[in-house]
Amino acid sequence: MKKIVVKKEEQDKSVQITFRFKSLGQLLEEDDPSSLPEKELTEEAEDAISGHLDEYRVSKPARLVIELPGKDLTDGIIPHIAESIRHHFGFRQDDLTHDLKIALREGIYSLILMLVNIGLLLLFIAYVGVSEIPPQSLKAGIILAFLTIMNWATIWDTYEHFLYDYRNLARKRRIYRKITTIPIAVNSY
């Protein structure tokens, strides 16, 4: 397993996160035929960079330092590596924007379904109140239990969607956006 060594230093009100990669291939996808700076990061590098930056508030100033073996850093490649990291996270940010639009649409559908289910429950309760069906009857109890379970499931799904899933996607997009704007230094070791 190729391990990425990470070192964090908090200075004043900012943080510097240093990532030491064992090779350029651990940072940039070797199978990607694109040239720098369009080359994609490896999944391991993307997760490490965004995950460690996620430990801090998005508003906290940060700086990234990428350390690579000297043999991998040929003349003129250093500025392209930093630009490649920015390019990758900018591209992924666009993907997350697309995912957020779809998630918002699905969340609105969940919200509508939840309101319809609540309406059905209230209509049934009102119907039982004005009809000759006794509220304690087996028939009314089964329908009420079914509507209650349906409401519980749709309300929970809607809460989970907006409070957890959508919020996490939005935070990830803010982190990716931040990576495209913060200083990135590339050093050899």
User: For 118-175, how does the pLDDT look when each residue is reduced to its tens digit (9 = 90+)?
Assistant: 999 999 999 988 888 888 889 888 999 999 999 999 999 899 988 889 999 999 999 9
84 with 12, same domain? yes
Q: How many domains does the chain have?
A: 2
For residues 57 and 74, membership in a common domain is answered with: yes
Q: How many CA atoms lie within 13 A of 115 on its CB side?
A: 6
Alpha-carbon distances, residue 72 vs 8, 35, 77, 82, 94 (angstroms): 24, 15, 9, 14, 30
pTM for this model (two decimals) = 0.79
Q: 112 and 58 in one domain?
A: no
Average pLDDT, the chain: 92
pLDDT band at 34 (very low <50, low <70, confident <90, very high): confident
Do 137 and 106 have their domain in common? yes
* The 14-20 sheet, strands edge to edge: 5-11, 14-20, 62-68, 184-188
Q: Tell whether 112 and 85 lie within a shared domain.
A: no
Token pair, residue 85, equals: 């990291």
Indicate whether 59 and 102 sit together in one domain: no
Residue 2: pLDDT band by 50, 70, 90 thresholds?
Answer: low
Residue 41 binned pLDDT confidence (cut-offs 50, 70, 90): very high
In terms of domains, do 101 and 41 share one? no
Domain containing residue 140: 95-174
The answer to whether residues 104 and 59 belong to one domain is: no
Domain match, 184 and 131 both: no
